Structure 1
Amino acid sequence: MDDRRNDEPRRRVRRPPPPTADRAARLAADHVAEMTGKEPEGIISLKQAEDGGWTIGVEVVETHRIPDTTDVIAVYEAELDSEGELLAYRRVDRYIRCQAGER
């Protein structure tokens, strides 16, 4: 039996480079939008872990109201691995838009 696979050079699997802070933020916003069905308002926090992963805070309008100063805003924290894949997310805060910073 002729087994040529052992003679062939090994191919390296190329992994994408770790995401930069701005790329990680965009990925987190996309993941939160996909998981919640809500459009992100903005990124409010960003921290890189020692393993190259990221923890990102994403604000979304959870409930639109009239006037918009009474919208219910939610903050989700998304954890990404070093390749930008979603590991976990959770809602960490919720408030009325006009009450931001009044706690």
Structure 2
Amino acid sequence: MELTEIVETAKRQMTVITGLPADTVARLDPAEDGWAVAIDMLEHRAIPRTHDLIAAFEVTLDNGGRILRWKRTGRFQRGQAREEA
């Protein structure tokens, strides 16, 4: 799979699983059993946008793009500074 396909597949599957729209992919790394993806999902839309509530997820996909596991790793406001791993 192309990297763009992996990203789009992960976003689409996480939207179905969580019911939340995908906001951005923060990280994509090769993993032992496929791909590790960090995806931010929009949990609550606010005005101004800097107050949107974002849920961060770590997702592992196999080489075919199927989700093997996922977990929510945090929540933050869009305008809030956060450390990148």
User: Letter of the aligned partner of 1:32 in structure 2?
Assistant: M
TM-score under structure 1 normalisation? 0.73
User: Letter of the aligned partner of 1:65 in structure 2?
Assistant: A
> Which digits, 9 at most, give the CA deviation of each residue in 1:56-93, with x for residues without a partner?
01111111122221111111111111111111111112
Shift of 1:21: 1.8
Unpaired runs of at least 5, structure 2 = none
**Which protein has the bigger strand share?**
2
Equivalent of residue 10 in structure 2, options 12, 19, 28: 28
Q: Match for residue 63 of structure 1?
A: 44
Aligned length: 83
**Secondary structure, in 3 states, of the residue corresponding to 1:98?**
coil
- Rounded Cα–Cα distance in structure 1 between residues aligned with 2:19 and 2:81: 23
CA RMSD for the aligned pairs? 1.5
User: Letter of the aligned partner of 2:82 in structure 1?
Assistant: G
User: Letter of the aligned partner of 1:100 in structure 2?
Assistant: A
- Rounded Cα–Cα distance in structure 2 between residues aligned with 1:48 and 1:70: 32
Q: Match for residue 75 of structure 2?
A: 94
User: Letter of the aligned partner of 1:55 in structure 2?
Assistant: A
% identical equivalent positions: 33
- Rounded Cα–Cα distance in structure 2 between residues aligned with 1:100 and 1:36: 24
| 1:43 aligns to 2:64 (yes or no) | no
